[in-house]
Amino acid sequence: MRNLFYIFIGGGLGSVLRFLVSNYTQRLWNVNSFPMGTFVVNIIGCFLIGIITSYFIKVDNYLKYLLISGFCGGFTTFSTFSAESYSLWQSGDYPILIFYILLSVMVGLSAVYLGLQMVRN
C-alpha cells in the first residue's frame, strides 16, 4: 500500500510539471503544427528514466516507485503523443506526422540510452 502512495505522489508531481513544461515550451517554440511541448517533455522524461532506472535497477526502495512509476509515468505522456499524431494525420499534415513519430521514437530511445550510460560510467 505504501508503494501506491509513492506512485500517487510522484505521478501528481510529474503531471503538474509536465503541464508547466509543455505549455511553456509550446509558447516558446511554436513551430507550425509540430507538437514541441509534448516532444520536449517526452524526451526529458526518457532521459530521466534512463538515469533513474540505471541508479535504482538493483535497489528496491520507495524512491524507485516515487520516481520511476510515479514521477516519470506522470511526466511523460504517450496518450498525448498519440492524440497529437492522430490530429496531424486528420489534418493531412503527413510530413510533420512522420517526422514527429520518427523523431520521438529515435530521440526518445537515444535519451534513455544516454541516461543509462551516464550513470553507469
Task: Pick out the residues of the known binding site for Na(+).
Answer: 73, 76
Q: What mean pLDDT do residues 57-65 have? A: 82
pTM: 0.90
| Grid cell 509550446 in the structure block, residue | 26
Q: Is 42 exposed, middle or buried (0-12, 13-18, 19+ CB in 10 A)?
A: buried
Task: Pick out the residues of the known binding site.
Answer: 73, 76
Average pLDDT value for the chain: 93
Spell out the domain ranges in the chain: 2-120
Q: What would the grid cell of residue 41 be?
A: 517533455
| Grid cell 541508479 in the structure block, residue | 55
Over residues 92-103, the pLDDT tens digits come to 999 999 999 999
